[in-house]
Structure 1
Amino acid sequence: MKKPNYTAIILGDIVDSQKIPVDQWMTPLKSFLDCQGPSPSTWQIFRGDSFQLEVQDASRVLDTALHLKAHLRRHCDATVRLGIGIGEVDYRSNQITESQGKAFVFAGKAFDGLKKRTLALQSPWRLLNKSIDATVDMAMYIVEDWSIAEAEAYSLWADNPDINQTEMAQRLGITQGRISDRLKRAGQNALKKWLRYHSELINQNLKG
């Protein structure tokens, strides 16, 4: 029996984008998406402020989602809503918005069910779905309260996971103590644990 080939899809939009000049959110959004892969096969922006992104390593999709949130908060103080789907791709087009499969269906359902949430995930795996549903509000309570400075520190760390605080301080032109304070207020340690746990859970399911 052929092993399923899973991928992750992020479906998102910018909250209250009409209140922000387009170039202020479009430029950082495109710069982030460009780093994830080529357009239109890996990502596309559509319907104004909506976008779709494929993260082929599904175990990294939550890391990517939080990194994107930090990137946009840092550069334009924007909030982004994200629906994540993990599943198979049945039809792959050269345009990501035309591709089909469970990953896209799950992403759409997760996004449509957001309501007051800003992040949701659906997958074929019940335990993962239950764990995300039970804990995502606590994670987003931290994330959506980030200041621009805290998001900047988190984004720099997410860009360079092996960087130390001294190097971060040098890049941002501030003291190591201020970097430490910003990362604490950004909830870095708690979010790292949350991300690591769910990355491991996704990997376990991917391995079957």
Structure 2
Amino acid sequence: MLAIITGDIVNSGLYPAGDWMPRLKEVLNRAGNQPKTWDIYRGDEFQLKTTKDRALELALQLKSTLKTIRDLDVRIAIGLGDESFAGNKITESNGSAYRNSGRLFAELKSGRQSLAIRSPWADKDQTMNLMLRMALSFMDEWSTVSAETVAWNLLHPESSQQEMASHFSIRQSAVSQRLKRARTDLVLELLEFYRTFYKE
């Protein structure tokens, strides 16, 4: 069982690609190598192969990283399943994970939700997608500062508030406020729930 993330940059036309492309590639490069593990195509669409357990975390890293730029966001479909053919490029590979991700992504483009999941278990997806919709009610509204806070937190899960304060050159009390405003505790609880919920 693996995960395929298919996504695009929402409002990419507001900025030159040079403003957001390095941030997108920074997250993708941490997940593996281009073009076997990930690739960018049609300008602002991307696909990424990862493990089932890491899929939502990477999706939220992408979202928080891109939302550090005002008015940018990502639309992401996570497909869980298998890989029946592994090509030299991710865009040439195939399997149920790819189909689940691609079809769900097409549906997201015509709807309002910016993040959803499709797996072989429809009943689980119903629960998880409801939780994602509720989480998106605040994640879609992250300010650039809140997004920056969450992105840093996801990359440095073991770090203390003091380390975070040093990184951003702010007081520890300000870090605490930032974490609360971004609802970081709920983001981390959602990730933990996801990891246990889709255990086979």
The 5 Å alignment of 1:23-172 reads 23-55=18-50, 57-75=51-69, 77-114=71-108, 115-172=111-168
Q: For the Cα contact (< 8 Å) 1:24–1:76, is it kept in 2?
A: no
**Percent sequence identity over matched residues?**
37
The corresponding residue for 1:19 is 14
Residues 64-91 of structure 1, C-alpha deviation per residue, up to 9 Å, x if partnerless?
A: 1111111111256520000110000000
**Which amino acid letter does the alignment assign opposite residue 74 of structure 1?**
T
Q: For the Cα contact (< 8 Å) 2:27–2:61, is it kept in 1?
A: no
**Which amino acid letter does the alignment assign opposite residue 14 of structure 2?**
K
Distance, in Å, in 2 between the alignment partners of 1:190 and 1:43 is 28
Distance, in Å, in 2 between the alignment partners of 1:60 and 1:129 is 16
| Structure 2 residue 177 is matched with structure 1 residue 181 | yes
Distance, in Å, in 2 between the alignment partners of 1:16 and 1:171 is 29
**Which amino acid letter does the alignment assign opposite residue 164 of structure 1?**
S
Q: For the Cα contact (< 8 Å) 2:146–2:181, is it kept in 1?
A: yes
Distance, in Å, in 1 between the alignment partners of 2:186 and 2:171 is 23
Q: What TM-score comes out, normalization by structure 1 length?
A: 0.92
SS at match of 1:91: coil
SS at match of 2:72: coil
Q: For the Cα contact (< 8 Å) 1:128–1:198, is it kept in 2?
A: no
Residues 91-145 of structure 1, C-alpha deviation per residue, up to 9 Å, x if partnerless?
A: 0011000000000000012211211010011000133211122221111111111
Residues 14-36 of structure 1, C-alpha deviation per residue, up to 9 Å, x if partnerless?
A: 11211111111111111111111
Distance, in Å, in 1 between the alignment partners of 2:153 and 2:24 is 18
SS at match of 1:34: helix
Distance, in Å, in 2 between the alignment partners of 1:128 and 1:40 is 31
Report the count of equivalent residues: 198
**Unpaired segments ≥5 residues, structure 2:** none
Q: What TM-score comes out, normalization by structure 2 length?
A: 0.95
Distance, in Å, in 2 between the alignment partners of 1:11 and 1:59 is 16
SS at match of 2:113: coil
Q: CA RMSD in A?
A: 1.2
SS at match of 1:178: helix
